Amino acid sequence: MNDTEVVIAGAGIIGLSVAFELLEQGIPVRVLAPTDETGTATLTAAGMLAPVSEADVEHADLIPLALDSLARYPDFIRRVEAASGMTCGYRSEGTLWVALQRDHRAELEHLLAFMADRGMTAERLDARSLRKLEPALSPRVVAGCRIPGDHQVDPRALREALFTAIRLRGGQVDTATARGFHAAGEKLTGLWMQRPGQDEREWLPCERAVLATGAWLGKDFEGALPACGMRPVWGQVIRVRGAPVLEHVIRTPDVYLVPRADGRLIIGASSEERGFDASAHAGATYELLRHAIAAVPEIAELEFEAVSVGFRPATRDHLPVIGATATVGLHLCGGHFRNGVLLAPGTAAALARSLTAGRDTPELAPFSPRRFETVT
């Protein structure tokens, strides 16, 4: 069974990481990569690897997967870089969480308590120590903390490296969009796919498939899937560039700032419910720049490069769907919402283990797509 091809629909960071991990285990893969990349979350993601500073009390189930995935990152990047001969912009300087006003202090206390409860490391810092680490921070900074375990990667660079690694390892990449599946009895027999410029769908026989189509999971797709209610959550980031002003990732409650080695700085991110509207908005751009410049005034002097919009894939309970469906051979892998880049190596490793074992492994229980099958 393990030498039959696995078809992976979707070529964001999740689909490609799954494909790479399966190839690493000697399982042949075929990736279906859509031509239209508008709104692809990976292309907009800032790439914060931040299970601590992005930690969300309401989603405690995510924390073990997030910490496992973060721990896997150095080895994952090493393998992808070795297989592709490319670099992925992985940086481990850590994150500074910065309070700029009294309200922010209360959030800082909440975050520190949340982390302490879970044995996560954060070092409380006063304004002077923060500005010593990052002299470009505003003099208005009042307090904060350093989170040494929160790192970053360049999602676009990682995605290109994954494409190259997959091709060099013998994986097939087809430009096509998955449009449906068919089963005989309970068993998957294949996918319908559509190639660019063709109206007709094409039949792709397969016994195993992974749907990793981000916010589009189930959209314009024929065949019953678990009712996870996948929807796009609009996110806008801004890219500016110039002489580097920051070393660390900086977060305030209002904005995050992610410096790249090439002098680019990512400012994120808005979050709104706008369906599949991929347009950028003036008000969101203004708010992001206002908060960014309040934290780091020098940002006002940098060159404005671009505004980018991506669709965070969100399920009804805001937890990912990873694993088998009621159709034998058909797996879902998506709904990573705000944390797709962080969760990619852990997700890929867990799904690869499940596919190899022929059943979902226990760590995937909270994320089983089947939790949505009983909901009417």
Residues found near ligand GLY in the complex (CB under 6 A): 48, 54, 235, 268-269, 312, 338-339
Question: Which one-letter amino acid corresponds to residue 181?
Answer: F
Q: Smaller CB distance to ligand GLY: residue 203 or 286?
A: 286
Which DSSP category does 370 fall into? G
Closest CA to 177 of 162, 157, 197, 163: 197
Q: How far is the CB of 269 from ligand GLY (least distance, A)?
A: 4
Q: Smaller CB distance to ligand GLY: residue 235 or 346?
A: 235
- Preceding omega of 165 cis (within 30 degrees of 0): no
Give backbone dihedrals phi and psi of 49, rounded to 5 degrees, phi first. Answer: -105, 85
Q: Smaller CB distance to ligand GLY: residue 54 or 150?
A: 54
Q: How far is the CB of 310 from ligand GLY (least distance, A)?
A: 8
Q: How far is the CB of 20 from ligand GLY (least distance, A)?
A: 22
Q: How far is the CB of 54 from ligand GLY (least distance, A)?
A: 6
Q: Smaller CB distance to ligand GLY: residue 47 or 218?
A: 47
Q: How far is the CB of 84 from ligand GLY (least distance, A)?
A: 24
Q: Smaller CB distance to ligand GLY: residue 268 or 369?
A: 268
In angstroms, what CA-CA distances link 242 with 24, 100, 189, 246, 298? 38, 24, 52, 11, 10
Laid out side by side, the sheet with 303-314 consists of 123-126, 143-147, 95-99, 249-251, 256-259, 264-268, 231-241, 303-314
Q: Smaller CB distance to ligand GLY: residue 155 or 171?
A: 155
Sequence-separated (6 or more) residues with CB below 8 Å from residue 346: 65, 66, 68, 69, 70, 72
Q: How far is the CB of 344 from ligand GLY (least distance, A)?
A: 12
